[in-house]
């Protein structure tokens, strides 16, 4: 993905992207590198974060990365997995491997996981907050109005089309933000999916009165996070 400089108000990014504190001692990669393969893409999006927020969900990020890879493979056996990083992680962390094995039933594509939704939610919310700040210059430290996630394969054709297609009309993001620069140079004046690593991670950000962040992990797990201002009635949204 093309990397742009933020030309927006620097005061918007002078705080932790996740809690809004003035503690910005660390830099948080958005997405976390456990969700990507090596070699990592150049110029990964990075936001300022306090150490507690940056490191506080590391275990959950590992859980989500391993869960997604096992779901893609239809197996919890290390030898069946594609990603070398996840193979290594599950080998080094037998408790995590056992936890996933205990949550899995069936076999192959018919297999099912009993997921830990709060762990998934914490990771997706952290990602969405990072993208909102990095792309739109819009800090979102409050709880979102909605957070939805589901396997991409579970979407109906119509739901998949709606998820993949940004609205034809959106508001201009924060002046000078990366999102505004991308929108201004888009031939269609519509938001575009940004691919961090092909087949591994992509995301979409836009403002339509609400701040909307969509993420797809490994073309397997889809997510939408929405922040709607109190003064505005949230538009009806289809949740797959």
3-class SS of residue 15: coil
Per-residue model confidence as pLDDT tens digits over 135-148: 999 999 999 999 99
Q: With CA atoms as reference, report the closest residue to 165 among 191, 135, 145.
A: 191
94: left (phi over 0), alpha (psi -120 to 50) or beta: alpha
- Measured CA to CA, the distance from residue 100 to residue 66 in angstroms comes to 8
Average pLDDT over residues 169-179: 92
Q: For residue 131, what are its two tokens? A: 């993208």
DSSP 172: -
Query: Look-up: residue for tokens 């742009």?
Result: 4
**Is 8 within 8 Å of 139 (Cβ atoms)?**
no
Per-residue model confidence as pLDDT tens digits over 67-122: 999 999 999 999 999 999 999 999 999 999 999 999 999 876 677 999 999 999 99
């Amino acid at each position: 993905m093309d990397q742009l400089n933020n030309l927006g108000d620097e005061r918007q990014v002078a705080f932790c992207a996740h809690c809004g504190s003035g503690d910005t001692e660390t830099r948080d990669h958005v997405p976390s590198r456990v969700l990507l393969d090596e070699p990592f893409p150049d110029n990964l999006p990075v936001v300022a974060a306090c150490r507690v927020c940056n490191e506080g969900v590391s275990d959950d990020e590992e859980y989500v990365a391993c869960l997604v890879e096992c779901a893609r493979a239809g197996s919890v056996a290390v030898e069946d997995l594609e990603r070398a990083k996840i193979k290594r992680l599950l080998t080094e962390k037998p408790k995590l491997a056992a936890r996933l094995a205990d949550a899995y039933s069936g076999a192959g594509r018919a297999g099912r996981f009993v997921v830990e939704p709060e762990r998934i939610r914490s990771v997706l919310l952290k990602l969405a907050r990072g993208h909102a700040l990095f792309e739109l210059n819009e800090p979102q430290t409050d709880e979102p109005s909605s957070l939805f996630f589901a396997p991409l394969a579970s979407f109906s054709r119509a739901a998949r089309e709606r998820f993949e297609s940004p609205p034809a009309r959106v508001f201009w993001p924060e002046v000078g933000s990366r999102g505004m620069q991308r929108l201004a140079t888009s031939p269609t004046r519509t938001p575009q999916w940004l691919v961090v690593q092909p087949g591994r991670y992509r995301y979409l950000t836009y403002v339509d009165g609400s701040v909307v962040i969509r993420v797809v992990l490994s073309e397997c797990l889809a997510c939408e996070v929405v922040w709607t201002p109190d003064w505005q009635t949230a538009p009806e949204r289809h949740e797959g």
